[in-house]
């Protein structure tokens, strides 16, 4: 990890959470925390159990959604066609 960057335990937890999320790119982590992809991988390796790290690496390797340049869409957020509409700050009830 870059020696210039000092992270708090809360920031480390957030980076790990973002790294596990499918739709959060490594570029987003870099913009928010200043860590490149390899630095995120090293952080995950040191902060997680070996079995959890292995599971995460298998999940992330080659995943298009984790790399900005490999994504299908460029702007906005992905929204599932089955996602319910939110009206007047209230979620539509069934």
Q: Is the dihedral of CA 38, 20, 66, 50 positive or negative?
A: positive
Q: What pLDDT is recorded for position 23?
A: 79
Say what the pLDDT of residue 2 is.
Answer: 47
How does pLDDT run across 67-87, given as a tens digit for each residue?
665 555 555 555 555 555 555
Rounded to two decimals, what is the model's pTM?
A: 0.65
Domain boundaries of the chain, sorted by first residue: 1-63
Per-residue pLDDT of the chain (94 residues; tens, 9 = 90+): 545 678 899 999 999 999 998 878 888 889 899 999 899 999 999 999 999 999 999 888 877 666 665 555 555 555 555 555 555 455 555 5
Q: Which residues contact 86 (CB under 8 A, 6 or more apart)?
A: 92
Task: Compute φ and ψ for 8, nearest 5 degrees.
Answer: -80, 160
């Amino acid at each position: 990890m870059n020696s210039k960057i000092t992270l708090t335990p809360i920031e480390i937890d957030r980076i790990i959470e973002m790294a596990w999320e499918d739709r959060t790119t490594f570029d987003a982590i870099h913009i928010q925390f200043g860590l490149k992809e390899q630095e995120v991988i090293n952080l995950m390796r040191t902060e997680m159990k070996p079995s959890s790290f292995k599971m995460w690496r298998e999940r992330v390797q080659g995943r298009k959604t984790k790399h900005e340049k490999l994504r299908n869409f460029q702007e906005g957020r992905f929204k599932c066609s089955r996602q319910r509409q939110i009206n007047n700050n209230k979620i539509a009830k069934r």
